[in-house]
Structures are given as C-alpha cells and as structure tokens.
Amino acid sequence: MTDLPGKPTSASRTTLSHIMTTHDTNLLGTVHGGVIMKLVDDAAGAVAGRHSGGPAVTASMDEMAFLMPVRVGDLVHVKAQVNWTGRSSMEVGVRVLAERWNESTPAQQVGSAYLVFAAVDADGKPRRVPPVVPETERDERRYQEAQIRRTHRLARRRAIMDLREKRAAEGLGD
C-alpha cells in the first residue's frame, strides 16, 4: 500500500453560512440546537470529504458546546477544518459564529464541536486518508489537542468495553 501525500489544513477548510428563520426555532423562540448541530455536521462532512477525496461518514460527535443562543435573523457561519488524521479517520474541528443579518457588528462565537469522520469506499469499508499537514501554530496546537482527545476517546471506549465484559462474566445483563 502506498503512502498518500499529505494535505495542508487549508486545502479542505470551509465555511457554511445560513440565515436563521422562524422555521429553525424551538419552543423558546431561539434557534433549535438540532438545527445548529445539522449545520455543524454538514460543514464537517464537506471538509472530511474534501480532505479524504471521497465519501466520509460521521463516526462520532463530541464536545458540542452551545455558548450563546442563536436568534431568528442571525447569519450563522460554520467554520470547519481537519485537525488530525489517522489511517482512515479524521477529526474535524468546527466553530459556529453568528451575527445579525442587518448590522455590521462582528460575528460572535456561539458554539463549537469536534467530530470524527471515517473515510469509506463504495462498499462502506474504511479507506486510507491523506495525513493532514498543519500550516500555522494554531493548526499545530489543534493537531496536538486532537491527539489528546483521540487518546481519551479510545480510553473511554476500552473502559466501557471492559466493564461490559466484567458484568457479562458476572451474569449481569444490560
């Protein structure tokens, strides 16, 4: 198997912008968190597909943080980039910003998330992805932080599987 050449973070970085309407609201009159989460997943999926050069599926979403409410009339910008790559997986970092559609004030960060995508072939099997090449100090920091998050995700998964095996051996079901 040949090594794939690396791709810089800027090669797949993208911004998805959407104006929020009354169709996006929850019972409190602010934008529903699920609407924001879908925009986050859409932007992250585009970045993962661009970086990997083909289909990629959401494997997990963690650390989704809602920092401020989003209102009807806000122009939401979802900025995403690949932070880290493994053999067939990628962590995509996403920042969500909002600004009033009719004002010239700077956008404020209203949320953030980290998603893991798996690149897949036509049969849905994992396929290799190019390594990401950090270009700036900020990209390098994001790369290092992503490695820490990956270590924690794997440790959490191992601990849960160990607990389930122990409970099963003791005859305890779900």
Q: Look at residue 1 and tell me whether its pLDDT is greater than 80.
A: no
- Is the confidence at residue 173, as pLDDT, over 80? no
> Structure tokens of 57?
């599926």
Residue 163 has pLDDT above 80, yes or no: yes
Give pLDDT tens digits for 98-108: 999 999 999 99
Read off the pLDDT of residues 34-93 as tens digits, 9 standing for 90 and up: 999 999 999 999 999 999 999 999 999 988 999 999 999 999 999 999 999 999 999 999
pLDDT for residue 27: 94
What pLDDT is recorded for position 63?
A: 83
What pLDDT, on a 0 to 100 scale, did the predictor assign at position 3? Answer: 83
Q: Over the range 138-157, which residues count as b (16 or more CB within 10 Å of their CB) and which as e?
A: ebeebbeebeebbeebeeee
Mean of pLDDT over the chain: 95
Residue-wise pLDDT tens digits, 66-83: 999 999 999 999 999 999
**Binning pLDDT at 50, 70 and 90, where does residue 174 land?**
low
- Give the burial string for 14-28 (b: 16+ CB within 10 Å, else e): eebebebeeebbeee
pTM, full prediction: 0.91
